[in-house]
A and B are shown apart, each in its own frame.
Chain A
Amino acid sequence: MPVEALPGTIRVLIIGGGKGGKALLELFACGQGVQVVGMADINPQAPGLALAQNLGIPTSHDALFLISQGGADLIVDVSGDQLVAPLIAKHKPASAEILGGTSALLVWKLAQHERDLRDQLIQAEKLASIGTLASGIAHEINNPLYGITGLSQRLEKETRPEIVKEYLHDIIEMSRRIATIVKDLNVYAHKNSAQALCDIDVNHIIEEAIKMARRACVLDEVKIQTEFSTLPRLQGNPDELLQVFVNLVTNAVQAMEGQGTLTVSTSSVNGSVRATVKDDGPGIPQHLLGKIFDPFFTTKEQGKGTGLGLHIVRDIVIRSGGRITVDSVPGKGAAFTLELPITSR
Chain B
Amino acid sequence: MAWLHTWGGLAFGWLLFAIFLTGTLSVFEHEISHWMRPELHRVGAVSQAEAIARAERLLRHEAPHAAHWQIVLPDEGEAAAELRWQQDGAWATRYMDAATGDPIAVRETLGGHFFVDFHYSLMAGRTGIWVVAAATVAMLATLLSGIIIHKRIFRDFFTFRPRATGQRAWLDAHNACGVLALPFHLMITYTGLVISFGIYMPVGLQLFFENSAGALRSQVVTSFERSVAGQPAELLPIAPFLEKAEAVLGQGAAQMVVVHDPGDASAVIEFFRRFDDRIAAVADHVAFDGVTGAWLGSQTEWNRAALAWRTMVGLHLAQFGGDAMRWLYFLCGLAGTAMIGSGLVLFTAKRRTRHAAEASRFDRSVARLNVSAIAGVIIACVAYLWFNRLLPAGLPGRESWEVGLLLPVWLVSLTHALVRRSDLVWPEQLGLAAFLCLALPVLDAATGGAPLSAATPGLGSAAVLDLTALGCGLALALVARRLARPDARAVRKGAADARGLARQNR
Chains A and B bind each other: no
The chain B residues found within 8 Å of chain A, CB to CB, are none
